[in-house]
Amino acid sequence: MRSEPLTGLVLTGGRSSRMGQNKALLSLSSGGPTVVSLAVERLRHVVDEVLLVGSDAEPYAFLGLSQVPDVFPGAGSLGGIYSGLRAASKQHALVVACDMPFLNVPLLEYMASQPRDYDVLIPVLDEPEPMHAIYSRACLPWMEERLRAGRYKIIGWFDKANVRRVERDTIERYDPQLRSFYNMNTPEEWGRAREMLSEA
């Protein structure tokens, strides 16, 4: 159960250059849902609205969702998070990427249920997972400062924020195989994702 209203943001702005085709529109099985559809469906379990973030809106019209263009085109994932957070109607937004086919609803529910006494709530394995995190709109000025300076590292401003971590032992309680953070950037990773689905 989520404790307060929450926006869901799905970032679709990647160029898919290593995949060679739009990775968000790929499926893991013949006739199965697209990867972006999977992300949206799982987010809907825990958020009050879902926004797609990215300037190329036409390929995603079939989802029937509001789409937010990039305020800072070419600014990578940080620019996408900023644009979506600025457009969000709720104070906090749960951010995921469009190419994460194994989002784990119980883990998302756990994150959504935590008291919102943070600026950022972020899972941490060996490194933080900024594309599977909840951000407060209080972060917007810090993000904008970095974007205007042309500095696009997502966590580059975290030293200014109240960052709460979700540690590995908690993550594994909900997602023992840590599949939540798997994303597909290459044909090989897409193939592995299809194998993972069949194994599951």
What is the predicted pLDDT for the residue at 33? Answer: 93
Which CATH fold would you assign to the domain 7-199? Spore Coat Polysaccharide Biosynthesis Protein SpsA; Chain A (3.90.550)
In the chain, the DSSP E strands lie at 7-11, 49-53, 66-68, 92-97, 120-123, 132-136, 163-166
169 has pLDDT over 60: yes
Mean pLDDT to the nearest integer, 2-18: 83
User: Measured between alpha carbons, how far is 192 from 200 in angstroms, rounded to an integer?
Assistant: 12
Residue 57 has pLDDT above 90, yes or no: no
Structure tokens belonging to residue 119: 């600026």
Q: pLDDT grade, residue 3 (50/70/90)?
A: low
Q: Is 90 exceeded by the pLDDT of residue 51?
A: yes
Strand order in the sheet with 7-11: 66-68, 49-53, 7-11, 92-97, 132-136, 120-123, 163-166
Residue 35: count other Cβ atoms within 10 Å of its Cβ: 25
Q: What is the pTM of this model?
A: 0.95
What is the arithmetic mean of pLDDT over 170-192?
A: 93
**Mean local confidence (pLDDT), 89-102:** 96
Confidence of residue 197 (pLDDT cuts 50, 70, 90): confident
Give the model's pLDDT for residue 16: 67
Rounded mean pLDDT of 136-159?
A: 97
Average pLDDT over residues 71-99: 96
- Round to whole Å and give the CA distance between 2 and 111: 8
User: Which region among 5-9, 30-34, 35-39, 159-163 has the lowest average model confidence (pLDDT)?
Assistant: 30-34
The band of 1, judged by pLDDT with boundaries at 50, 70 and 90, is very low
Identify the DSSP state of 31. T
